[in-house]
Amino acid sequence: MKVILKEDIKSLGKKGEIVEVSDGYARNFILKKNKGVEANSSNLNDLKLKKANDDKIAQEQYEAAKELGKQIEAGQIQVSIKMGEGGKAFGSVSSKEIAEEVKKQLDLTIDKKKVQLKEAIKVPGTHVVPIKLHPKVTADLKVLVTEEA
């Protein structure tokens, strides 16, 4: 019997796949526990429409991420940190502060988890910080760190 899986089943297949299983396994496990549906023409058509819709949504998210990436790369933010004797920094600039400043200065919303900062910025100057907006889109943000007066 052919079934369409509604969720991942270990050693059988992933969600959305069409698999061939024995009739007993299908009736007593997959269909009974609602882990899949029988692969009839109606269900196959529903699966095809769902995949087309998922592809469309994924493409829209990719396009939106590319557009946001262009806006981020065109802009620059300025952050100031307190400096002590001999150019020693008190504190640092973290990904949370960068996300907040992007919201304030560029009026763009990004999640602090998307800011790919290897370690906090502790020295003044211009730094390039990568921001991962999508698995295929990474934008480089220019962060100008200045000394607070």
Q: Quote the radius of gyration of the chain (alpha carbons, Å).
A: 25
Considering the domain architecture, whether residues 48 and 113 belong to the same structural domain is answered as no
Instruction: Tell me the DSSP string of 63-120.
Output: HHHHHHHHHHHH-EEEEEEEE-GGG-EES-B-HHHHHHHIIIII-----GGGB--SS-
Task: Output the CA–CA distances (angstroms, integers) from residue 72 to 6, 20, 62, 98, 142, in the order listed.
Answer: 38, 48, 15, 12, 9
pLDDT of residue 56: 97
Query: Do both 102 and 121 map to the same domain?
Result: yes
Shared-domain flag, residues 59 and 71? no
**Domain endpoint, select from 13, 39, 64:** 64
Same domain, 55 and 79: no
Q: Are residues 81 and 139 in the same domain?
A: yes
* Judgement on whether residues 36 and 80 belong to the same structural domain of the protein: no
Residues 103 and 47 in one domain: no
Using 50, 70 and 90 to split pLDDT, how confident is the model at 148? confident
How many structural domains compose the chain? 2
* pLDDT of residue 94 exceeding 70: yes
pLDDT tens digits, residue range 27-65? 999 999 999 999 999 999 999 999 999 999 999 999 999
What pLDDT is recorded for position 43? 93
DSSP state of 12: T
What is the β-pairing status of strands 137-147 and 76-83?
A: parallel
Q: Which of 13, 15, 20, 18 is nearest to 44 (CA)?
A: 18
Check pLDDT > 70 for residue 74. yes
Domain extent at residue 25: 2-64
Whether the predicted pLDDT of 8 surpasses 90: yes
User: Can you give the pLDDT at residue 19?
Assistant: 95
Report yes or no: 51 and 16 within 8 Å, Cβ to Cβ.
yes
Q: Note the pLDDT of residue 149.
A: 66
Given a cut of 70, whether residue 4 has pLDDT beyond it is yes
Could you identify the residue written with the tokens 């991962």? 132
The answer, yes or no, to whether residue 81 has pLDDT greater than 80, is yes
* Confidence category of residue 70, pLDDT binned at 50, 70, 90: very high
- The domain boundary, picked from 64, 88, 103, lies at 64
Q: Do 55 and 75 share a structural domain? A: no
For residue 97, what is the domain's CATH number? Answer: 3.10.430.100
